[in-house]
Amino acid sequence: MSLRSLLSLLLTLSLGLAFGFLFVSSQFLENHILLVLPPTLATQTATSIRFLVFQQFLLLVLLGVVITFVYFSILSVIVIHPLRELIRGIKAFAADGTTEQMPSINETTSEIKSLKEAFSGFAEKVSEAHKKDTEISRVKSDFISTAAHQLRTPLTGIRWALEALEHEHLSEEQMALVKNAVDKSHDLVAIVGTLLDISSIESGKFKYTFEPTNIEALVSEVAEDFSTLAQKTQIKLYYAKESKNIPLVRADGERIKWVLNNLIENAIRYTPAQGTVRITTELGAGFVFVRVQDSGIGIQEKDRENIFERFYRAGNAIAKENQGNGLGLYIARTIATDHGGDLDFAANPDGIGTTFTLSLPVQ
């Protein structure tokens, strides 16, 4: 309820009470006069009293209207208008962190003045904290970027050296060790690549080459790439194509392939053996939807809000797969939204596993 409505209600109530009081008093007077005066005089006096009460009532209403008008005008100027300005300023601050709208507030009363000062102090503190946060974030990003760049060259060297070793005549045991080291070096190169992606996302340097892209072909290719891993981990991996023709989407093929890799790999990793991962593509409302549905460990209610946060890993995921950095979904969602689409997830209707849905606008 607004301040104005509340005051109107109070004034109407006061008027009602005043009139009620007037009416009860007149009734009381009439009854007593009728008892003491002769009948002819009593009737006349009663009529006069009623007329007087009616007159008083009209006067009360008139006075009420005038008082209300004056009251509202004063209230509007000294309280409601400054309060509205303050609300506008607070909303502007919440939207873009600026306090430019503040000076237009008239400090008509000491309370409004204190409120404005309190808000200005609060806004200053928030701005300072935000500045500090941005600076820390920038230093962190710079550090990640520098560290990743520094690591990339020696790592690539190590990987090449190990790959070269694979072609040497080695004993079975040595070969197994080298193979393991090659796999680990691939993982490390991928992690460094992810860190570089994060730093370019944060510095606004993550670039795209948008082209008309055949999403079905991309999905088929990535699903095919994962068939070996799926077999090894005893997961049934399906890609069910839409019967209708799916049009081309506007996408950076390489980046979307990265997203699909991430989603399908997660689905396989977070699904126990004998489980199923089912991929579908569907057309609807100007978008193509790619769904990756698994019968895996699922995402618990308490983790849902944070799943797209950087470095976030849910407890059940860590227990199932201790390897992971919690960066994939953050990057994947950024790529999806940069395409004008989205990436989201939902629990499956039967309560087992999760479905991630990537949407991309039709070309």
Instruction: Tell me which residues touch ligand ADP (CB under 6 A).
Output: 262, 266-267, 270, 294, 296-299, 307, 312-314, 317, 324-330, 354
Identity (one letter) of the amino acid at 82? P
107: three-class secondary structure by DSSP = coil
Looking at beta carbons only, is 107 or 265 nearer to ligand ADP? 265
Q: Among candidates 193, 194, 197, 238, which has minimal Cα distance to 219?
A: 238
Alpha helices, DSSP H, located in 3-38? 3-36
CB of 325 to ligand ADP, least distance (A): 5
- According to DSSP, the residues that pair with 282 across neighbouring strands are 289
Instruction: Identify the burial level of 155 via C-beta atoms within 10 angstroms of its C-beta, where 0-12 means exposed, 13-18 middle and 19 or more buried.
Output: middle
* Interaxial angle between packed helices 81-96 and 110-166, expressed in degrees from 0 to 180 and rounded to the nearest 10: 10
Looking at beta carbons only, is 228 or 323 nearer to ligand ADP? 323
Looking at beta carbons only, is 168 or 301 nearer to ligand ADP? 301
What the block records as the tokens of 156 is 């690539």
Looking at beta carbons only, is 276 or 363 nearer to ligand ADP? 276
Q: What CA–CA distance (Å, rounded) separates 199 from 204? A: 8
Q: Among candidates 216, 200, 196, 218, which has minimal Cα distance to 208?
A: 200
Looking at beta carbons only, is 253 or 296 nearer to ligand ADP? 296
CB of 221 to ligand ADP, least distance (A): 20
CB of 163 to ligand ADP, least distance (A): 25
CB of 99 to ligand ADP, least distance (A): 37
Looking at beta carbons only, is 123 or 192 nearer to ligand ADP? 192
Q: Among candidates 2, 3, 22, 4, which has minimal Cα distance to 14?
A: 22
CB 212 within 8 A of CB 250: yes
Looking at beta carbons only, is 324 or 340 nearer to ligand ADP? 324
Rg of the chain over all Cα atoms, to the nearest angstrom: 37
3-state helix, strand, coil split of the chain in percent (to 5) is 65, 10, 20
CB of 89 to ligand ADP, least distance (A): 39
Q: Among candidates 270, 342, 268, which has minimal Cα distance to 299?
A: 270
Looking at beta carbons only, is 93 or 345 nearer to ligand ADP? 345
Phi/psi of residue 18, nearest 5 degrees: -60, -45
Looking at beta carbons only, is 207 or 302 nearer to ligand ADP? 302
Q: What CA–CA distance (Å, rounded) separates 150 from 194? A: 14
Element (H, E) at 175: helix 172-202
Alpha helices, DSSP H, located in 37-171? 39-75, 81-96, 110-166
CB of 149 to ligand ADP, least distance (A): 22
Strands 211-213 and 249-251: antiparallel
Looking at beta carbons only, is 189 or 283 nearer to ligand ADP? 189
CB of 218 to ligand ADP, least distance (A): 19
211: three-class secondary structure by DSSP = strand
